[in-house]
Amino acid sequence: MGCYGIGVTRLMAATVEILTPKDSDDIQWPRRIV
């Protein structure tokens, strides 16, 4: 049996991937999440 839900870690990774500019090496968190 496995767990196939969306966890907090996956949501955080997706947020960083979507909201960080492609030409930046820094992680930029939105103020609402920080």
The closest of 9, 18, 7, 6 to 28, measured between CA atoms, is 18
Question: How far, CA to CA in Å, does 33 sit from each of 2, 3, 4, 15, 28?
Answer: 29, 25, 24, 10, 10
Q: What does the pLDDT average to over 14-30? A: 81
In whole angstroms, what is the distance from residue 21 CA to residue 24 CA? 5
Share of the chain above pLDDT 90, in %: 0
Q: What does the pLDDT average to over 13-27? A: 83
pTM value > 0.85: no
Q: Where are the domains of the chain?
A: 1-34
